[in-house]
Amino acid sequence: MKPFAAPVDDILFTLDQVAGAASLEEWDADLMREITQAFAAFAEGEIAPLDEVGDTQGCKLIDGRVQMPEGYKKLYADYAEQGWPSLTVPEEYDGQGLGGVALATVSEIFSGANHSLQMVTGLVPGAVRTLLDYGTDEQKSAYIPRMASGEWLSTMCLTEPGAGSDLGRIRARAVQDGDAWKITGEKIFISGGDQDMTDEIFHLVLARTGDADSGVKGLSLFICLSNQPDGTRNPITITRIEEKMGLHASPTCQMAFDDAPAELIGKEGEGLKAMFTMMNHARIDVALQGVAHATRAHDIAAAYCAERIQGRGADGQPVTLDYHADIKNMLGEMRALSLLGRAIAHVAIVELEKEEDPMLVEFLTPIAKHFCTESASRAADLGIQCLGGYGYLQEYRIEQVWRDARICRIYEGASGIHALTLSTRLLQGRTAEAADRFAAFTGANAPAGAVAEWTKAREAMAASADPSAKAADFMAISEWLLLRALAPRFDSHEAAPQIATYLKRTEHMGAVLSARICEA
């Protein structure tokens, strides 16, 4: 089985040559290489070897507490001791004060090495950012250093049995009790809702403070700690952990809050606004999870196909699998999907860090989340096909890549929801400026004919009485255009031929999608 190898050179190439990270004031190429290589060594040596253990053992719910797989507690302690949780925390709160680009490099490598553990640890940066944007000075000082040190981990508690994507149906209620609040209700699908790697968990909980019919305007955001000040457990019960097809070492918890003491963060009735700080961070993070899976699938498949003798060449001599055109095409597509997905995610991150064009970021984010996660499933599926029967077995673990990657298309907004966002909210009214900024960005880099096809589609969508009917097509043509804007930046990369072949094979899709969107 091919050991995990972090794609350090590809990551740094894309940041520098494709995403233009050098335009950031804080960009330091040497420092970024040092950070990326350091985490890569840790991931390859300590994190990745426990991925198979976690997949095999899974998590256990024992006497109401979650027990992580063997070795995970020590691994997390090593992770915290090396200072990785503090990477993007401001220095005034005991952090290293680095930006989102540094986090992106670490996050992708972490996901490729062990997506399950990355899920449990990966919500800390978003929780810190939420506190920085909406917390009081007292809340910031009390909580951020504990997460920076790794002493605490965090969760995001949104989903309920009757409220998945429709957050207006949330029923968990927060009631004021003097200067405090108490939360009662049920939350499901909470990643890391409990674990035994930290003694304390910082829960961010979305709960209703308005009346039952107040919709999203009646939601507020709360800090709810797993422990009370005297060290006893808060009245939060883990009622079950889900049995999942993948991510077995990430405890997905069903939680019951029973008058659990909580603190309001931000203003009452503005909970969804505050929570989106964490959700938007999470969506880019999920895009990078998709990139990590596509990359890992290609790495396993390419290594196998370079060694497996199968068939004979034109000269009659035995050849390896990657000699055959069908396998070569599949490997080339996997490589292109990995590189182009990373390019989209990195562009979105760099633009977000620059803080100069927020509406462009608004348009790029759903594209990044959609393309990267769909590409992960596609690449994993192609990888299984390349290995044939061995791909279907557990021996080479590419089937685990497929299983773990599948959730990326669902959580933090399913693919269809992001397509709907692009086709409705970002094409109409005040936020239509987002589409204008995307047009300007791609227009400066993509072929004029490609831009023209997308523009026709955009105009037809904006004029449509029901744009949702063609949302998937509009997402596809937006991705198609963006890839053509970014691909020339890979001209000096060794995989440029595979990217060119992939674009050539999909060249006709722009006209097809545009015609389909424009037809009555």
Q: How far is CA 129 from CA 17, 306, 512, in A?
A: 28, 44, 42
Distance (Å, rounded) from C-alpha 352 to C-alpha 359?
A: 10
Distance (Å, rounded) from C-alpha 367 to C-alpha 499?
A: 19
Tell me the β-bridge partners of 155: 203
Distance (Å, rounded) from C-alpha 213 to C-alpha 215?
A: 6
* Burial per residue of 118-145, b for 16 or more beta-carbon CB atoms within 10 angstroms, e otherwise: bbbbbbbbbbbbbbeebbeeeebeebbb
Distance (Å, rounded) from C-alpha 446 to C-alpha 150?
A: 44
Give the containing element (helix H, strand E) for 363.
Answer: helix 358-387
Rg from Cα positions in the chain: 23
By the 8 A CB rule, do 192 and 118 touch?
A: no
Active site residue 151: no
Helix (H, G, I), strand (E, B) or coil at 332: helix
Catalytic pick among 108, 412, 453, 479 = 412
Give the containing element (helix H, strand E) for 311.
Answer: strand 309-312
Distance (Å, rounded) from C-alpha 439 to C-alpha 471?
A: 18
By the 8 A CB rule, do 341 and 375 touch?
A: yes
* CB neighbour list of residue 50: distance below 8 Å, 6 or more residues apart: 69, 71, 72, 75, 114, 117, 249
Structure tokens at 196: 């035994």
Distance (Å, rounded) from C-alpha 87 to C-alpha 98?
A: 6
* Residue 346 Ramachandran class (φ > 0 left, ψ -120 to 50 alpha, else beta): alpha
Q: Which residues are catalytic?
A: 412
